[in-house]
Amino acid sequence: MRGFLFNNMDIRGVHIRLDESVQTLLQQHAYPPAVATLLAQLFIASALLSANLKLQGRLSVQVRGDGPLEYAMAECRLDQPGTLQPLLLKGLARHAEVIDDNLGLHQLLGKGQLVITIEPDDGQRYQGIVGLEHDTLAACLEGYFYQSEQLPTHLQLAMSASEAAGFMVQRLPADINDEARADEDWELVHALVTTLTATELLDLPAEQVLHRLFHEHDLTVFAERPVSYQCDCSRERSAHAIVALGQLKVDDILEDLGSIVIDCQFCNSQYAFDKVDCHLLFAPGTGNPAERETLH
Ligand SMILES: [Zn+2]
């Protein structure tokens, strides 16, 4: 993924092209083709939206509705702002058993919503929700930016059997005295980016896309930022979830089932805790993760 900034205009952008990580995401479950396509788009979109965030935490993009696709979401984990740490993505969809191949956004989701959630590790959670008022996810995201942040945005998402790519340009808040010029700049850049075809976006590296569109303009192109598929589930996070249930509830489950198994819905990993494991989680000073944290 590569970000860029126009040196003489208040406009920024991001380019992303992924192959392996999208394949890994789609291999986690047997998704019908229409669901897989939308999930790959969400995956790309969550990376595009994370590109300019200066925080440590998570960003997720979710669509949900009352159609055969109950929901699909992708989540991006952001670490250490300002460094070139990789963006770690994961995603998940829940759907009816049989879904026709050619269903579009509205047929998949029925009456649906787009939900953007930003959760800094320390700080207030932000959630923006808009109706799915356009025919494509890209157009709905453009609508979200306009509605929630008044930022005119152009967003393009493209998929092939083995790759997924995305491109976004966004107008930045400009000097109020210079709004006429900023309008003209935006119109010019917008006219250029709408000539980018899906084939070009999928086939060309970032440098060539930027050269093809903006060779007459002065750009600052930032260093490549790695993006990869990675589920961040762990035995320790599962232990936190068990502790959060409370000892009474955990004792009840152990009595019924003999052990507790935490399933990760994203990657299908399983974390099993038997009676001894659970006992240690609640024993003071031994294995209680909540307690360990306060000690450090
Ligand atoms: Zn997992």
> pLDDT tens digit string along 272-288?
999 999 999 998 765 45
Measured between alpha carbons, how far is 174 from 190 in angstroms, rounded to an integer? Answer: 16
**Confidence at residue 141, expressed as pLDDT on a 0 to 100 scale:** 96
Measured between alpha carbons, how far is 127 from 108 in angstroms, rounded to an integer? Answer: 23
> pLDDT tens digit string along 81-126?
777 788 899 999 999 988 999 899 999 999 999 999 999 998 899 9
- Ramachandran region of residue 273, left (φ > 0), alpha (ψ -120 to 50) or beta? beta
In the chain, where are the structural domains located? 2-229, 235-295
Distance 59 CA to ligand 1 centre (A): 17
Query: Near ion ligand 1, which residues have CB within 5 Å?
Result: 231, 233, 264, 266-267, 269
Distance 108 CA to ligand 1 centre (A): 25
Band of the pLDDT at 294, cuts 50, 70, 90?
very low
Sequence-distant (6+) residues with CB within 8 A of 52 are 3, 12, 14
pTM of the model: 0.87
Distance 234 CA to ligand 1 centre (A): 7
User: Cβ of 180: how many Cβ atoms within 10 Å?
Assistant: 9
Architecture of domain 2-229: 3-Layer(bab) Sandwich (3.55)
Distance 186 CA to ligand 1 centre (A): 41
Distance 264 CA to ligand 1 centre (A): 5
> pLDDT tens digit string along 150-179?
889 999 999 998 899 999 999 998 777 788
Checking if the pLDDT of 35 tops 50, the result is yes
Distance 266 CA to ligand 1 centre (A): 5
For 235-295, give the CATH class: alpha beta
